[in-house]
Structure 1
Amino acid sequence: METAELKEQLKQQIIKFLNLTDLTPADIKDDEPLFGDGLGLDSIDSLELIVLLKKEYGIDIKDPREGRKILVDVNTMAEYIQANATK
């Protein structure tokens, strides 16, 4: 899958998995931080994103420190998925 296509799919999945019904994929910038001042996600959302990675891409994140490095923004998540996806 091409990077642009993966990023678009990822944005749609983030909206769906986190029930962010007031957002569209166009509202999420590739380099916008997912947590804090960016998209404003919280620790519960990070757990949901870890479940998303496991369910959709076969990526199992066991170490929370690793999760913090991956769940930075859409760009970082897409790079990690491309390098590590098993599905």
Structure 2
Amino acid sequence: MNTLELELKHLIIDTLALEDMTPEDIDSEAPLFVDGLGLDSIDALELGVAIQKKYQVKLDASNSQNKEHFRSVANLSKFIASHRAAQ
């Protein structure tokens, strides 16, 4: 697990108050929504705001790529890393 993925797992746990979870409980490749971690649309909004604040990443609600970016911790990590590289 890379450092950014670990940071994102901590961010998910802290932002969504998943007190009974540890970063090791979250599979980096598992879906974040529905069958995976079981997050919902409200969780997505809260997580999106936290990611924007922490990583200064612009998220546009109308962007069709968001669903792909938020599919898993690994995908979020790749998205944030590519955003950092572009700056």
**TM-score in same-fold range (> 0.5):** yes
- Normalised by the size of structure 2, how large is the TM-score? 0.89
Partner of 1:11: 9
Identity %: 38
Matches within 5 A, 1:54-73: 54-62=52-60, 63=62, 65-73=64-72
**Structure 1 runs (4+) greater than 6 angstroms displaced:** none
- Normalised by the size of structure 1, how large is the TM-score? 0.89
**How many correspondences in the alignment?**
85
Amino acid at match of 1:35: F
| Unaligned ranges ≥5, structure 1 | none
Amino acid at match of 2:39: L
- Distance in 1 separating the partners of 2:81 and 2:44: 19
Amino acid at match of 1:65: S
Matches within 5 A, 1:17-36: 17-36=15-34
Q: What is the Cα deviation at residue 66 of structure 1?
A: 2.7
CA deviations over 1:33-63 (Å, ceiling 9, x no partner): 0001100000000001110121011111112
| Unaligned ranges ≥5, structure 2 | none
